[in-house]
Amino acid sequence: MKKKILIISGGISKERIISLETGKQVAKELKKHNYLVRTCEPDKDLLLTIKDFKPNCIFNALHGQFGEDGYIQTILETIGIPYTHSGVIASAKAMDKEISKKIFLKNKILTPKYFVYNFDKTNKELISFVKKKFNFPVVIKPINEGSSVNVYICTKNDLLKNLKFLKDYKKVMIEQFIPGREIQSAIIGKKKLGAIELKPKRKFYDYQAKYNSNAKTEHIIPVDLSKKKYKTLMNITLKAHNLMGCRGVTRSDFKYFNGKFYLLEINTQPGMTKLSLVPEISAYIGINFINLIKLILKDASIDK
């Protein structure tokens, strides 16, 4: 009997387009391999669709707010059907950059210095505070967005200007800028998938570099690291995955500088588009796209 997979994609976050593309790619691959597939939005018809289709498993292809922050996971928990990727608590912790940082630091995982800013200082006070804390340049970002949405690298001269673009958020993170190499690594279940290095032509690996094929980001695999350093990288990646309580696939973003790995964040629902990194890492070690999807489905569960 054919397995039924319901793919939830789209949603209301700023990553809607990427989510739709992830859902489309996964659906196309599953259909090619004899699965019964239906795709839907996380809207008022979701529960009716689930009741009508009766899937064996739900593939969560949502990205960003509502999709990977514990909200949709809470809804799926009440239904009692296995769903892919991390559960409620792990998703909420990983999506919140402040909580993630605290967990990293508590467990001796190196991460850039930071503070949370809630627009409570005068311009002069803020500039002075940043100088004392870790100096310029700095990175500013929302606490709970993905895909480098609204992330800016700022000098003293453009910090205040760029902060205006984030004024709709209640609070933002201001983080020490770490130069160096951009390396990302992935886990599936408890297995270390591998890593990839990125050399963006843009200022850094931002939203355009991730999803615009014209951005011409260079992907380097295998990563040029000694065996010892590579082992260290993958051990940190697995440690972060386990500390958060993640399941399924995760991708961790690092900066490598002066022989040290700085963990920026962990992504509980990395993209599965043609330009996405996890399928590329998987393919390099001999796991093709359909087998990667099968591994993700195999690790689907309900939080206990």
Instruction: Dump pLDDT digits (tens) for 43-71.
Output: 989 999 999 999 999 999 999 888 899 99
pTM over 0.75: yes
* Together in a domain, 14 and 141: no
Mean pLDDT of all residues in the chain?
90
Cα 61 from Cα 11, distance rounded (Å): 10
pLDDT at 167: 85
The answer to whether 292 touches 278, Cβ cutoff 8 Å, is yes
Average pLDDT over residues 222-227: 97
Q: What percent of the chain has pLDDT over 90?
A: 73
Whether 304 is covered by a domain: the verdict is no
Q: What percent of the chain has pLDDT over 70?
A: 93
Average pLDDT over residues 86-108: 95
Nearest to 8 by CA among 48, 38, 51: 38
* Together in a domain, 53 and 197: no
The pLDDT of residue 208 is above 60: no
* Together in a domain, 120 and 156: yes
pLDDT at 209: 45
* Together in a domain, 187 and 172: no
Nearest to 204 by CA among 282, 260, 147: 147
Residue span of the structural domain in which 101 resides: 94-108+180-298
Whether 279 is covered by a domain: the verdict is yes
Tell me the C-alpha to C-alpha distance, in Å, between residue 285 and each of 64, 149, 159: 28, 30, 42
pLDDT in tens, 115-140: 999 888 888 899 999 998 898 999 99
The pLDDT of residue 23 is above 60: yes
Average pLDDT over residues 180-184: 96
Burial label, 32 (beta-carbon count in 10 A; 0-12, 13-18, 19+): exposed
How many structural domains comprise the chain? 3
* Together in a domain, 160 and 274: no
CATH number at residue 190: 3.30.470.20
pLDDT at 288: 94
The pLDDT of residue 301 is above 90: no
* Together in a domain, 214 and 164: no
* Together in a domain, 165 and 189: no
Which tokens in the block code for residue 209?
């570099």
The answer to whether 268 touches 90, Cβ cutoff 8 Å, is yes
pLDDT at 302: 56
pLDDT at 169: 86
* Together in a domain, 128 and 244: no
Cα 209 from Cα 112, distance rounded (Å): 22
3-state secondary structure (DSSP) of residue 80: coil
CATH number at residue 127: 3.30.1490.20
Give the pLDDT band (50/70/90) at residue 3. Answer: very high
Whether 72 is covered by a domain: the verdict is yes
The answer to whether 95 touches 68, Cβ cutoff 8 Å, is yes
* Together in a domain, 101 and 206: yes
Which residues are known catalytic residues? 15, 147, 211, 251, 253, 265, 267, 271
* Together in a domain, 36 and 131: no
Choice between 188 and 273, residue whose per-residue pLDDT is larger: 188
Cα 59 from Cα 8, distance rounded (Å): 6
Give the pLDDT band (50/70/90) at residue 73. Answer: very high
Whether 303 is covered by a domain: the verdict is no
* Together in a domain, 272 and 224: yes
Choice between 120 and 107, residue whose per-residue pLDDT is larger: 107
pLDDT in tens, 267-291: 999 999 877 899 999 999 999 999 9
pLDDT at 210: 46
3-state secondary structure (DSSP) of residue 56: coil
The answer to whether 19 touches 63, Cβ cutoff 8 Å, is yes
Residue 96 has what DSSP assignment?
Answer: -
